[in-house]
């Protein structure tokens, strides 16, 4: 029987994650813990996590089309690599994505923004990284939309991403932004991340190499999940991506 402790994920680098209490983002006011969070040394509960296979959860890699009909908007290809903090690819891991349509409206009953829905756009997809940690999907560039956080508040264009990675402690939900968006400087959700470099890494890069001639603009968005332990050289670990 294996009696060694599981290799924990490393703590986040200071300033690179947003705080729970962030007054400029009003909804944090009554939802952040007022008491300190309790440190938990990682056990098998934290170092392992769910596995999702495309056989059980089929990929939906082109969300610009519904039943063969094109959504309205600027077609885009989003591509990138998922690695850990040691630069190792995270292969065969699931990414869930969701976003507003080109007019800045979600196909969600809670979104009452006065902008048109698009019957050919649901705005939700699922893709898996390949053996090298690479993912790719096709979509429509999402529009900006107003929200009521403060007077004249608008969210910058963004796509939501959800990843699991190798353990429950590597779970990540984030947002990908677009280069050159003037709303980023005004957005509390983006600016609540203290570290400027960490903020900038949420902005995708236009990439002519991903761009497909006569068809769609390409953006690159690389994602980094937490690395493990202080000892990069470790014994084979059955919790690494096995399938």
Partner 1 sequence: MPIATASQTIGPYWHLLEDKSWADALRFGAEGERIAVSGRIVDGAGAPVADACVEIWQSDPPASDSFPGFARAATDKDGVFRLVTLKPGPVRGRGNATQAPHLAVAIFARGLLRHLVTRLYFAGEPLNETDPLLSFIAPDRRGTLIARPDGAGAWRLDIVLQGADETVFLDV
| Segment 188 to 207, residues that bind partner 1, using CB under 8 A | 189-190, 192-193, 195, 197-199, 201-202
Which of 27, 212 has the CB closer to partner 1? 27
- Residue 130, both tokens: 């390949």
φ, ψ dihedrals at 24, nearest 5°: -60, -25
Active site residue 177: no
Decide: is 27 part of the binding site for partner 1 (CB under 8 A). yes
| Cα Rg of the chain, angstroms | 19
Q: x-or-dash pattern for partner 1, window 125-144, by CB under 8 A?
A: --------------------
Active site residue 145: yes
Which of 72, 211 has the CB closer to partner 1? 72
Looking at 42, 105, 126, 158, which residue is catalytic?
158
Active site residue 158: yes
Is there a contact between 168 and 115 (Cβ–Cβ < 8 Å)? no
Question: Residues 154, 157, 162, 163: is their CA dihedral positive or negative?
Answer: negative
Which of 83, 157 has the CB closer to partner 1? 83
Decide: is 172 part of the binding site for partner 1 (CB under 8 A). yes
Burial grade of 223 (CB within 10 A; 0-12, 13-18, 19 or more): buried
């Amino acid at each position: 029987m294996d009696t060694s402790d599981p290799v924990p994920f490393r703590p986040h680098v200071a300033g690179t994650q947003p705080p729970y209490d962030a007054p400029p983002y009003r909804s944090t006011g009554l939802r952040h813990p007022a008491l300190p969070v309790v440190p938990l040394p990682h056990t098998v509960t934290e170092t392992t996590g769910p596995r999702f296979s495309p056989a059980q959860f089929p990929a939906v890699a082109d969300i610009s089309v519904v039943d063969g009909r094109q959504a309205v908007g600027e077609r885009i290809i989003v591509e990138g690599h998922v690695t850990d903090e040691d630069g190792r690819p995270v292969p065969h891991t699931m990414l869930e994505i969701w976003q507003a349509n080109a007019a800045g409206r979600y196909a969600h009953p809670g979104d009452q923004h006065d902008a048109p829905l698009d019957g050919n756009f649901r705005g939700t997809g699922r893709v898996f990284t390949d053996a090298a940690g690479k993912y790719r999907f096709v979509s429509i560039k999402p529009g900006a939309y107003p929200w009521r956080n403060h007077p004249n508040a608008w969210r910058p264009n963004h796509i939501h991403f959800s990843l699991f990675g190798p353990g429950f402690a590597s779970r990540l939900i984030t947002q990908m932004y677009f280069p050159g968006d003037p709303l980023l400087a005004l957005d509390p959700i983006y600016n609540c991340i203290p570290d400027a470099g960490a903020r900038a890494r949420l902005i995708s890069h236009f990439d002519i190499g991903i761009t497909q001639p006569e068809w769609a603009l390409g953006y690159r968005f690389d994602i980094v999940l937490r690395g493990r332990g202080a000892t990069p050289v470790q014994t084979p670990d059955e919790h690494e991506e096995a399938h």
